[in-house]
């Protein structure tokens, strides 16, 4: 095993000491007017008022029962304190005599007392609406040969035209091509591990080289291109990016050439960027669509049906939520906020599809990134369905609890004419419920799903997923990328999965 990989494994196993420690990562928050509020002595009444005034300027209010007393006191509140000009020493809070900004120490202590009084000692698991079945449903397992090194697969992408699979490993920082027999070929070395690979019609792979995978403000990510039909090295499309995690392409200005949208998740600083390239995919111009950290996924589509492509973006850090950017047909976008989520959600993915066949695109949403400051299992993490009541006014319709839900992909897997859903959970309850690491939701009636857990948790820990007809039989297969070590958040747990399988494929064998 190489020295580089050994060093990374040590670092990965200790990421709890160095990864991000806050969820509300927006700087410059200014509290609403509350400085003149007189405490009543009623801990609950005072706390409710002050949290509403001080804690909703950067993000949605986090209910007190969303975290335990210990997590509030030792993790979440110390993080919040820094934004309100309160200093900490251990578990104690104090105000510097010369610091007149932020919140008064008296008001801050009232907030602390409020959470300490009404927050629960523990969070009880949510009850699933339907029991989880352990079976393969209509899938069979395919896997490559084991590799020597520990697998740190950060993304996986299948090409339905060729049947080939493309992966990237964070430690090796490579782009690897796997043929139809799963034989690997390293195509090139990237500037860092990739978190997204988009295959263009012209044979170019547009790659999001993330830079630092942990949530820090260190903008060394790059968008790189690689010619799959004869290239031997990458070329830069954009550099100095704040942790780019995804790119999508669309012709936003209707000039006949697609532009590239980049989700630069960042940490406290990030944004959504529009890249214009020339006929050879070389960079021409970069503009900012949104100067906002936390973008984890985007979808381009003509949402208002005016003939111009728009953009919908999910944010998963700090001010979490779903935003719609409508094309103004002049080179810019107008913003419409659709949903806001509390920063403990850890929003991870979304899909849009008409689940109930009423002509409106419904929202399938997952939340479960669980390596912020509150690393405990959360009963509100999981898979959500929001019904589109018209004009993208969403109303929650269904919820299935999945600890640490990471991604959902919706399509008709079994060929019966309705939409099914596949999910992965990187931060699953690996000690007690490893089956929730992968779940296939078979839709049997409108908004009624039967969950199947294919027994694949022994083969890896799934950070990435792609759905592609990899064997060209007309049925969508599921590709799962194995990030096998690091990001541990459950104490006294030793991994039991295979650390040497870069990926597996769940081949779709449903009868059409």
pLDDT for the residue 503? 98
Q: How many domains does the chain have?
A: 2
Beta strands in 342-496 (DSSP E): 347-353, 362-367, 382-388, 394-401, 405-411, 420-425, 438-445, 448-452, 462-468, 477-482
> Of 118, 149, 170, which residue constitutes the final position of a domain?
118
* Residue 7 forms part of a structural domain: no
What distance in Å separates the CA atoms of residue 80 and residue 274, rounded to the nearest whole number? Answer: 32
* Residue 447 forms part of a structural domain: yes
pTM of the model: 0.92
321 shares its domain with 259: yes
Pairing of strands 87-89, 92-94: antiparallel
* Residue 4 forms part of a structural domain: no
99 shares its domain with 175: no
Which residues share a beta bridge with 175? 188
Q: Which residues contact 267 (CB under 8 A, 6 or more apart)?
A: 20, 25, 215, 216, 217, 242, 243, 293, 317
What distance in Å separates the CA atoms of residue 447 and residue 291, rounded to the nearest whole number? Answer: 36
Rg of the chain over Cα atoms, rounded to whole angstroms, equals 23
Can you tell me which residue has the tokens 């779940």? 439
What distance in Å separates the CA atoms of residue 403 and residue 126, rounded to the nearest whole number? Answer: 10
207 shares its domain with 242: yes
237 shares its domain with 94: no
Looking at residue 239, which CATH number applies to its domain? Answer: 2.130.10.130
* Residue 15 forms part of a structural domain: no
What distance in Å separates the CA atoms of residue 35 and residue 465, rounded to the nearest whole number? Answer: 49
Burial of 159 (C-beta count, 10 Å sphere; 0-12/13-18/19+): middle
What distance in Å separates the CA atoms of residue 104 and residue 53, rounded to the nearest whole number? Answer: 13
Residue among 4, 5, 163, 3 nearest 484 (CA): 5
> Of 95, 118, 141, which residue constitutes the final position of a domain?
118
Quick check: helix, strand or coil at residue 13?
Answer: helix
Residue 111 tokens, joined:
């907030």
What distance in Å separates the CA atoms of residue 1 and residue 147, rounded to the nearest whole number? Answer: 11
147 shares its domain with 86: no
Q: How far is CA 448 from CA 75, 127, 232, 431, in A?
A: 38, 16, 49, 28
pLDDT digits 0-9 by tens, 319-334: 999 999 999 999 999 9
Show the domain range for 98.
Answer: 43-118
> Of 87, 118, 149, which residue constitutes the final position of a domain?
118
355 shares its domain with 437: yes
Per-residue DSSP letter, 434: G
What distance in Å separates the CA atoms of residue 37 and residue 106, rounded to the nearest whole number? Answer: 11
107 shares its domain with 161: no
428 neighbors 403 (Cβ within 8 angstroms): yes
Burial of 239 (C-beta count, 10 Å sphere; 0-12/13-18/19+): middle
217 shares its domain with 114: no
Length of the chain: 512
Residue 16 tokens, joined:
């709890």
Residue 115: how many other CB atoms lie within 10 Å: 23
75 shares its domain with 171: no
Q: How far is CA 253 from CA 199, 278, 299, 325, 329, in A?
A: 21, 14, 16, 14, 7
CA 487-489-491 angle, to 5 degrees, is 130
pLDDT for the residue 140? 98
146 shares its domain with 97: no
What distance in Å separates the CA atoms of residue 80 and residue 85, rounded to the nearest whole number? Answer: 9
* Residue 126 forms part of a structural domain: no
386 shares its domain with 274: yes
* Residue 123 forms part of a structural domain: no
Per residue of the chain (512 residues), give pLDDT as tens. Answer: 443 344 333 333 333 322 323 333 333 455 556 778 999 999 999 999 999 998 888 888 999 999 999 999 999 999 888 888 898 887 788 887 677 778 999 999 999 999 999 999 999 999 999 999 999 999 999 999 999 999 999 999 999 999 999 999 999 999 999 999 999 999 999 999 999 999 999 899 999 999 999 999 999 999 999 999 887 899 999 999 999 999 999 999 999 999 999 999 999 999 999 999 888 788 889 999 999 999 999 999 999 999 999 999 999 998 999 999 999 999 999 999 999 999 999 999 999 999 988 999 999 999 999 998 899 999 999 999 999 999 999 999 999 999 999 999 999 999 999 999 999 999 999 999 999 999 999 999 888 999 999 999 999 999 999 999 999 999 999 999 999 999 999 999 999 999 999 999 999 999 86
* Residue 3 forms part of a structural domain: no
Can you tell me which residue has the tokens 């602390």? 112
What distance in Å separates the CA atoms of residue 280 and residue 282, rounded to the nearest whole number? Answer: 5
71 shares its domain with 142: no
Q: What is the DSSP string of 452-485?
A: E--S-GGG--EEEEEEE-TTSSSS-EEEEEEB-S
* Residue 24 forms part of a structural domain: no
């Amino acid at each position: 095993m190489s020295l580089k990989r050994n060093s990374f494994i040590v670092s990965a196993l200790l990421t709890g000491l160095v990864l991000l420690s806050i969820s509300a990562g927006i700087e410059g928050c200014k509290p609403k007017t509350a400085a003149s509020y007189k405490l009543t002595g009623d801990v609950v009444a005072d706390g409710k008022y002050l949290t509403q005034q001080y804690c909703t300027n950067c993000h949605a209010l986090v209910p007190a029962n969303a975290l335990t007393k210990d997590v509030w006191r030792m993790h979440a509140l110390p993080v919040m304190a820094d934004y309100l000009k309160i200093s900490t020493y251990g578990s104690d809070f104090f105000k510097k005599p010369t610091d007149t900004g932020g919140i008064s120490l008296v008001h801050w202590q009232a907030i602390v007392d409020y959470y300490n009084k009404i927050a629960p000692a523990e969070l009880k698991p949510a009850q699933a609406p339907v029991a989880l079945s352990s079976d393969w449903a209509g899938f069979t397992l395919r896997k490559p040969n084991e590799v020597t090194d520990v697998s740190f697969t950060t993304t996986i992408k299948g090409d339905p035209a060729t049947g080939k699979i493309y992966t990237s490993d964070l430690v090796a920082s490579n782009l690897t091509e796997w043929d139809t027999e799963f034989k690997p070929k390293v195509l090139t070395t990237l500037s860092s591990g990739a978190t997204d690979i988009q295959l263009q019609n012209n044979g170019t792979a547009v790659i999001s080289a993330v830079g630092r995978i942990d949530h820090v403000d260190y903008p060394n990510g790059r968008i790189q291109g690689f010619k799959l039909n004869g290239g031997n090295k990458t070329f830069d499309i954009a550099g100095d990016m704040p942790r780019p995690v995804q790119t999508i392409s669309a012709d936003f200005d209707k000039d006949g050439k697609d532009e590239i949208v980049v989700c630069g998740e960042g940490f406290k600083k990030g944004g959504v960027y529009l890249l214009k390239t020339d006929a050879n995919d070389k960079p021409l111009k970069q503009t900012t669509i949104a100067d906002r950290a936390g973008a984890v996924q985007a979808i381009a589509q003509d949402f208002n049906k005016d003939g111009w492509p728009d953009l919908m973006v999910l944010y998963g850090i700090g001010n979490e939520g779903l935003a719609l950017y409508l094309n103004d047909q002049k080179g810019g976008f107008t913003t419409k906020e659709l949903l806001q989520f509390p920063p403990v959600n850890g929003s991870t993915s979304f899909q849009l599809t008409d689940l109930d066949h009423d002509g409106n695109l419904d929202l399938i949403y997952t939340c479960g990134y669980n390596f912020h400051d509150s690393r405990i299992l959360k009963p509100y993490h999981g898979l959500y369905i929001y019904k589109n009541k018209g004009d993208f006014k969403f109303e929650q319709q269904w919820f299935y609890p999945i600890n640490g839900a990471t991604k959902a992909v919706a399509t008709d897997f079994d060929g019966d004419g309705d939409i099914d859903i596949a999910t992965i959970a990187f931060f699953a309850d690996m000690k007690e419920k490893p089956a929730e690491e992968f779940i296939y939701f078979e839709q049997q009636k409108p908004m009624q799903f039967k969950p199947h857990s294919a027994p694949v948790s022994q083969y890896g820990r799934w950070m990435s997923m792609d759905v592609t007809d990899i064997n060209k039989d007309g049925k969508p297969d599921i590709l799962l990328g194995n990030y096998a070590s690091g990001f541990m958040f459950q104490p006294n747990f030793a991994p039991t999965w295979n650390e040497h399988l870069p990926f597996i494929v769940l081949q779709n064998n449903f009868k059409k």
